[in-house]
Amino acid sequence: MAMAVRAPLVRTFLLSPTSSSPSPSRPLGAPATCSVVRTRRGISSSRRLPLRANCRPLPTRAAVAVDSPGTGSREAESDSPNVLLEVTDLTAVVAESKQEVLRGINLTIREGEVHAIMGKNGSGKSTFSKVLVGHPDYEVTGGSVIFKGENLLDMDPEERSHAGLFMSFQSPVEIPGVSNIDFLQMAFNSRRKKQGLPELSPIEFFGFLDPKLSAVNMDPKFLNRNVNEGFSGGEKKRNEILQLAVLEADLAILDEIDSGLDVDALQDVAKAVNGLLTPKNSVLMITHYRRLLDYIKPTFIHIMDYGSIIKTGDISLAEQLEKQGYRAISAA
């Protein structure tokens, strides 16, 4: 099949066309809104974070430490890690019905941070992530989203992907007629081209891909199968992480990457994600379960309710949630 025929399929799969409306951007040097105590071991649990999630670091030497099972520990140290994503008062509706789904989300993600969003069913977690990648089912009605200093809402979904945003969907789509390896190579070369880098030939690309297959513990036979077609739930999730590894995204949004995984697969996927973390990139993961957070240690945990982030904290928030449920958190 000719590349020209397959290219639109790649775009459709990576990120489909957006109908989000542009919003005014806000300077990155926004005023301080909360204090976060960072130490070489991470955030001090002795300090509670206030409700607003877009926290600025203290103007002191900052360090983010994330222990990565199987890959040792990762430390990003700088005077002030750069802001990767800044979401301010984001509101959105379902495009068709105009039903309000996001009701003023504030969130700041810096390089080297791992953020987890938890929340009751229907609280808006997946919608938030889909709005970030420009899903056409939603319309942004207010607020701003700045990604790497650019107005994300001004970009179409493909541009968002080229800019370094990656999303692993809760239910990854199948692409009949497109082999996994062709898909990966086209997506990879498409981003390289945008970056002004030379495209890799099939042989060069396989050399690049081979260690990544090992990192996600994936059998090479999956490369010749059509994208996600007939894959089990766990195989689809592994394949999503393989795509992430290939695209080397700056911000990976992982929507329930733990759902449907057996214990071994969960560990493999978490190990692969941890292995991809660097001091310059970040992860935003959505999960219902504390179990994932044991493997991929979050810098911050956010609780979402009724379309906005109502609480931000550290791992103790997930522990409280597990013991007392969402009712206790909402009431606190």
Ligand X SMILES: Nc1ncnc2c1ncn2[C@@H]1O[C@H](COP(=O)(O)OP(=O)(O)OP(=O)(O)O)[C@@H](O)[C@H]1O
Dihedral angle, C-alpha 60, 66, 71, 73, nearest 10 ° = 40
- Residue 180, classed as helix, strand or coil, is helix
Number of residues near ligand X (by CB under 6 A): 12
Closest separation in Å from C-beta 98 to ligand X: 10
Measured CA to CA, the distance from residue 300 to residue 113 in angstroms comes to 8
Site residues for ligand X, 64-123, by CB under 6 A, read 94, 99, 101, 119, 121-123
Question: How far, rounded to the nearest angstrom, does the alpha carbon of residue 69 sit from its chain's CA centroid?
Answer: 19
Nearer to ligand X, 122 or 325 (CB): 122
Nearer to ligand X, 110 or 135 (CB): 135
Closest separation in Å from C-beta 17 to ligand X: 15
Task: Rule CB under 6 A: say whether 179 interacts with ligand X.
Answer: no
Question: How far, rounded to the nearest angstrom, does the alpha carbon of residue 158 sit from its chain's CA centroid?
Answer: 16
Cα 110 to Cα 54, 63, 86, distances in angstroms: 10, 12, 9
Closest separation in Å from C-beta 46 to ligand X: 30
Site residues for ligand X, 126-145, by CB under 6 A, read 126-127, 137
Which of the ranges 18-26, 125-133, 175-183, 237-245 carries the binding residues for ligand X, by CB under 6 A? 125-133
Number of residues that this document lists for the chain: 332
Nearer to ligand X, 99 or 195 (CB): 99
Closest separation in Å from C-beta 26 to ligand X: 24
Measured CA to CA, the distance from residue 147 to residue 88 in angstroms comes to 12
Nearer to ligand X, 43 or 140 (CB): 140
Half-sphere exposure of 222 (CA within 13 A, CB side): 24
Measured CA to CA, the distance from residue 41 to residue 23 in angstroms comes to 37
Nearer to ligand X, 108 or 127 (CB): 127
**Positions in the binding site for ligand X (CB under 6 A):** 94, 99, 101, 119, 121-127, 137
